[in-house]
Amino acid sequence: MSHDYKAVQWTPFKQRFDRWMLAGIALYLAIFIGISLLAQPEGTSFAPVQILIRATGTLAFLLLTFILCIGPLARLSERFKPFLYNRRHLGVTTFLIGLIHGGLVLMWYHGFSDLNPLVSVLISNPRYDSLAGFPFESLGLAALIILFLMAATSHDFWNANLGPRLWKALHMGVYLAYGLLVIHIALGAIQFEKHPLYVILLLAGAITVSGLHIFTGVASFRKPDTDAQDGWLKVAALADMIDARAKIVHPKDGEAIAVFRERQKVYAVSNVCRHQGGPLGEGKIVDGAITCPWHGFQYQMADGRSPAPFTEMIATYATRIVGGVVFVNPEGNPPGTPQAPSLIPE
Contact 329, 337 (CB under 8 A): no
Q: Residue 204: which pLDDT band, with cuts at 50, 70 and 90?
A: very high
Chain centroid offset of residue 56 CA:
21
pLDDT at residue 195, rounded to an integer: 75
CA 77, 60, 175, 202 torsion-angle sign = negative
Percent of the chain with pLDDT over 90: 49
Closest CA to 13 of 68, 72, 66, 81: 81
pLDDT at residue 7, rounded to an integer: 47
For residue 249, which phi and psi values (nearest 5 degrees)? -115, 140
The number of beta carbons lying within 10 Å of the beta carbon of residue 55 is 22
Task: Give the whole-angstrom CA distance, residue 126 versus residue 109.
Answer: 16
Percent of the chain with pLDDT over 70: 92
pLDDT at residue 44, rounded to an integer: 66
Before 251, cis peptide (omega within 30)? Answer: no
Mean pLDDT of the chain: 86
Strand partners, 233: 228, 328
Q: Residue 60: which pLDDT band, with cuts at 50, 70 and 90?
A: very high
In this predicted structure, the answer to whether residue 184 has a pLDDT above a threshold of 80 is yes
In this predicted structure, the answer to whether residue 221 has a pLDDT above a threshold of 80 is no
Bridge pairing between strands 319-322 and 325-328: antiparallel
pTM of the model: 0.76
Residue 294, Cβ density class (10 Å: 0-12 exposed, 13-18 middle, ≥19 buried): buried
Q: Residue 237: which pLDDT band, with cuts at 50, 70 and 90?
A: very high
Please tell me what DSSP assigns to residue 290: E
Q: Residue 86: which pLDDT band, with cuts at 50, 70 and 90?
A: confident
Residue 72, Cβ density class (10 Å: 0-12 exposed, 13-18 middle, ≥19 buried): buried
CA distances from 23 to 55, 127, 174, 204 (A): 15, 41, 25, 24
Task: Give the whole-angstrom CA distance, residue 202 versus residue 126.
Answer: 25
For the chain, how far is it from start to end, CA to CA, in angstroms? 37
272-324 confidence digits (pLDDT tens):
998 777 889 988 898 889 998 877 789 999 999 998 878 889 999 999 999 99
In this predicted structure, the answer to whether residue 1 has a pLDDT above a threshold of 50 is no
Report the range of poorest mean pLDDT among 6-15, 45-54, 195-204: 6-15
The number of beta carbons lying within 10 Å of the beta carbon of residue 288 is 12
